[in-house]
Amino acid sequence: MGKLDFLAELGIETENDGGYAKEWCGSGSLLESFAPADESVIASVRQCDAGDYENIMANAAKAFACWRLEPAPARGEVVRQLGNEFRKHKVALGKLIAWEMGKIQAEGEGEVQEMIDIADFAVGLSRQLYGKTMHSERPGHRMYEQWHPLGTVGVITAFNFPGAVWAWNAMIAAVCGDVMVWKPSSKTPLTAVAIQKIVNNVLEPLEWNGVMSLLVGSSRDVGELLIHDRRVPLVSATGSCHMGRKVGEAVAKRLGRSLLELGGNNGIIAMDDADPEMVLRGVLFGAVGTTGQRCTSTRRLFLHRDIASDITGRLVKAYGQVKIGNPLDPDTLMGPMVDGGAVDTYSAALETIKKQGGEVLYGGNVLDQTGHYVEPTIVKAKPSMEIVGDETFAPILYLFEFDSLEDAIAMHNSVDQGLSSSIFTRNMQSVERFLSAAGSDCGIANVNIGTSGAEIGGAFGGEKDTGGGREAGSDSWKAYMRRQTNTLNWSDELPLAQGIQFGD
Ligand code: NAD
């Protein structure tokens, strides 16, 4: 058995006794994928070039011509089969996500569960793409709205959720009648190849090839083609605020639509009446989980002055017990960072933190071993520290103290990003203040739950520099469709709206 034996179950051929995979996606240059746990090369993936891009776009357009006319519940049936196929491969795909991205296996499998959940949600949605009916002001007239598919949706995803974010988009867009072209992160190409193989197992026998296609390639070579392409009416892009500005601008220039899911800088407010154990567990999962590489990772913790020293002491103790190591080892709580660049970002941030007056209470070191391992870090911070305004995509937690909830909310809302937030309290007034229009300015505001680990049933996304997009549940599906208002005259007259008499 090779160390990557789970790849065989995913239909990926390996060499070197199962230790190395070669997969061909297109006819461009080779892209190597590295395991962050031991820095070994796990795969070479042949990327798409401009010619492949054109073929993929042509196939997608051809598929759309038929897929848009398939009844939505029949499209839902195809998505149901996809969900079942994800179920079958949950463990193997979860392991691959862990091995290629670095999150622990439990989180890798949790990510596949999200793919299953959103498929289930989309199946139900396929019978609920409701439009409104309204009363016309004119006699013998009927008015209603209906929703039609948009066309080819470009899906650009980040490395940290190499499967779930694609699925949030693809499952919903599929029941809406769109076809998808997916550009994954170049840090996780093998996960994308494995997912596309699972998709093909379902779509090929049904002759629905072209409904979901994969475009492995760099942002420069294929990403730029996608965002400037007028044949792509919607680009759904997940990644940094920097990327979102570029994508948003390019798509807006051609009057296309973009759905942006960008960086967060998420905070937890712990009031003096909060349950300290719940705070501890919420913060630990939020700040240390996924090695601080979730868009919803907890980056800032605001502690009421009366409980600050107690909670800080508990946190430092808990951080000391976090087992760092191989993401496939069931005892590991924190895996490696995704690559050497991410470790450099962590180190550079710590330099800046010290220069700006932050006090490292725990961690702050890169581990001296093979693999991209760092210590989870707690910093006693000052509101004046500029670096706190940045999303440093690493397990660094800033602590602040406050005296009143108003002050805590003001500090919390002072950053540019607006993704996820939470408060720990048992006081109803504090809860309502935090959730009011003068409270958290984020797209997600939780009570007695941390900032990360959203369920797919709610609309997911954030405000301000996080981009304003909404994905997953609730009525997020509307972003993937175009609305049409229909007015039908069943009378024998032709009355004009607003009672206008014209040429009578
Ligand atoms: P990134 O911005 O470096 O890359 C994201 C994706 O965008 C990649 O596929 C990349 O190739 C592509 N890309 C970059 N420039 C492009 C361009 N000009 N044209 C087309 N495509 C382009 O982000 P990352 O490092 O992979 O992921 C981490 C970031 O993603 C963090 O900021 C995190 O908060 C954010 N994120 C946000 C959410 C959310 O839902 N809000 C979810 C996951 C990750």
Segment 223-238, tens digit of pLDDT: 999 999 999 999 999 9
> Edge-to-edge, what's the strand order for the sheet holding 133-134?
133-134, 141-149, 481-489
The residue nearest atom 1 of ligand 1, judged by CA position, is 239
CB of 183 closer than 6 angstroms to any ligand 1 atom: yes
- pLDDT value, residue 1: 39
Please report whether residue 499 resides in a domain: no
The answer to whether the beta carbons of residues 158 and 185 sit under 8 Å apart is yes
Asked if 271 and 135 sit in the same domain, the reply is: no
Tens digits of residue pLDDT in 144-178: 999 999 999 999 999 999 999 999 999 999 999 99
* Phi then psi dihedrals of residue 18, to 5 deg: 75, 15
450 CB-near residues (< 8 Å, 6+ apart): 268, 281, 282, 283, 285, 286, 298, 422
Most informative mutation of 222, 240, 344, 421 for ligand 1 (most atoms within 8 A of CB): 240
Q: What is the mean pLDDT of residues 376-391?
A: 97
Determine, yes or no, domain membership for 495.
no
The average pLDDT across 71-78 equals 98
Bridge partners, residue 267, by sequence: 300, 421
Which atom of ligand 1 lies nearest, measured to the CA of 296?
A: 34
Q: Are 340 and 294 part of one and the same domain?
A: yes
Q: Are 362 and 377 in contact (CB under 8 A)?
A: yes
Is residue 136 predicted with pLDDT exceeding 50?
yes
54 and 202 within one domain = yes
Residue 311 tokens, joined: 């909670």
420 and 475 in a single domain? The answer is no
pLDDT digits (tens, 9 = 90+) for 248-300: 999 999 999 999 999 999 999 999 999 999 999 999 999 999 999 999 999 99
- Residue 34 has, within 13 A of its CA and on its CB side, a CA count of 14
Same domain as 95, residue 72: yes
Q: Are residues 229 and 346 in the same domain?
A: no
Residue closest via CA to ligand 1's atom 39 equals 261
Same domain (yes/no): 116, 179: yes
CA gap 460, 502 in Å, rounded: 49
What type of residue sits at position 350?
L
Domain that holds residue 407: 266-456
380 lines ligand 1 (CB under 6 A): no
| Residue 461 is assigned to a structural domain of this protein | no
How is residue 45 written in tokens?
A: 């993936």
Ligand 1 midpoint to CA 231 (Å): 22
Stated pTM of the model: 0.97
Answer positive or negative: Cα dihedral of 120, 126, 131, 132: negative
Q: How far is ligand 1, taken at its centre, from the CA of residue 265, in Å?
A: 15
- pLDDT score for 18: 60
Torsion of CA 199, 205, 208, 212, to 10 degrees: 10
What's at 50, amino acid-wise?
Answer: A
Residue nearest atom 42 in ligand 1 by C-alpha distance: 295
Mutate to test the pocket of ligand 1, among 166, 181, 218, 219 (most ligand atoms within 8 A of CB): 219
C-alpha pair distances (Å), 460 with each of 107, 254, 291, 434, 453: 19, 26, 21, 19, 11
- Which residue owns the Cα nearest ligand 1 atom 9? 185
In a domain, 491, yes or no: no
C-alpha span between 255 and 144 (Å, rounded): 26
173 plus 316 within the same structural domain: no
**pLDDT value, residue 62:** 98
Q: Which of 29, 360, 340 is nearest to 187 (CA)?
A: 340
Question: Which of ligand 1's atoms lies nearest the C-alpha of 460?
Answer: 40
CB 185 within 8 Å of CB 157: yes
Q: Are strands 396-402 and 377-380 parallel, antiparallel or unpaired?
A: parallel
CA of 406 to the centre of ligand 1 (A): 33
Distance CA 167, CA 174 (A): 10
The torsion of the CA quartet 368, 371, 372, 375, rounded to 10 degrees, works out to -50
262 CB under 6 A from ligand 1?
Answer: yes
CA dist., res. 247 & res. 480, Å (int): 17
What is the Cα–Cα distance from 184 to 203, expressed in whole angstroms?
A: 20
Our answer on whether the CB atom of 161 is closer than 6 Å to any ligand 1 atom is yes
First to last CA, the chain: 86
- Shared-domain flag, residues 202 and 64: yes
The set of catalytic residues is 261, 295
Using an 8 Å Cβ cutoff, are 450 and 298 in contact?
yes
Say what percent of the chain tops pLDDT 90: 94
In a domain, 502, yes or no: no
Q: Is the CB of 160 under 6 A from ligand 1?
A: yes
Cα 90 vs. chain centroid, distance in angstroms? 19
pLDDT at 179: 98
Shortest CA distance to 292 belongs to which of 142, 366, 144, 393? 393
User: In angstroms, what is the span from residue 396 Cα to ligand 1's centroid?
Assistant: 20
Strands 133-134 and 141-149: antiparallel
Number of domains in the chain: 2
pLDDT digits over 342-382, tens only? Answer: 999 999 999 999 999 999 999 999 999 999 999 999 999 99
C-beta of 189 in contact with ligand 1 (< 6 A):
no
Q: Looking at residue 20, what is its pLDDT?
A: 72
Number of the ligand 1 atom closest to the C-alpha atom of 393: 31
Model pLDDT for residues 447-473, shown as the tens digit of each residue: 999 999 899 999 999 999 999 999 999
| Number of Cβ atoms within 10 Å of the Cβ of 251 | 24
Distances (CA, A) of 316 to 42, 206, 397: 36, 55, 11
CATH number reported for the structural domain that contains residue 445 in this entry: 3.40.309.10
Q: Cα separation of 97 and 167, whole Å?
A: 14
Looking at the domain assignment, is residue 462 inside a domain? no
**Closest C-alpha residue for ligand 1 atom 22:** 219
The number of residues in the chain equals 504
Establish whether residue 417 lines the binding site of ligand 1, counting it when its CB lies within 6 angstroms of any ligand atom.
no
Q: How far is CA 126 from CA 173, 273, 410, 477, in A?
A: 10, 44, 42, 10
Three-class HEC string of 166-188? HHHHHHHHHHHCCEEEEECCCCC
Q: Which two tokens mark 380? A: 């006693």
- Average pLDDT value over all residues in the chain: 96
Examine the pLDDT at 35 and tell me if it is beyond 80.
yes
The ligand 1 atom at the shortest distance from the C-alpha of residue 187 is 26
Atom number in ligand 1 closest to CA 183: 9
In terms of phi and psi (left: phi > 0; alpha: psi -120 to 50; beta: otherwise), the region of 116 is: alpha
In a domain, residue 29? The reply is: yes
Rounded Cα distance, 151 and 146, in Å: 16
Residue 147 shares a structural domain with residue 284: no
Please say if the pLDDT value at position 309 is more than 60: yes
Are residue 185 and residue 316 in the same domain, yes or no? no
Q: Could you tell me if the CB of 263 is within 6 A of ligand 1? A: yes
Ranking 6-15, 286-295, 421-430 by mean pLDDT, the lowest is 6-15
Q: What is the mean pLDDT of the segment spanning 73-79?
A: 98
What's the average model confidence in pLDDT over 55-83? Answer: 98
Pocket perturbation via mutation, ligand 1, pick of 185, 224, 235, 476 by most ligand atoms within 8 A of CB: 185
Separation of CA 160 and ligand 1 centre (Å) = 9
Distance 20 CA to ligand 1 centre (A): 26
C-alpha–C-alpha distance, residues 457 and 468, integer Å: 18
Per-residue confidence (pLDDT) for residue 256, from 0 to 100: 98
In a domain, 493, yes or no: no
With a cut of 60, say whether residue 2 has pLDDT above it: no
Same domain as 247, residue 379: no
CB 165 within 8 A of CB 196: no
* CATH number of the CATH domain containing 476: 3.40.605.10
- Ligand 1 centroid, distance to 367 Cα (angstroms): 26
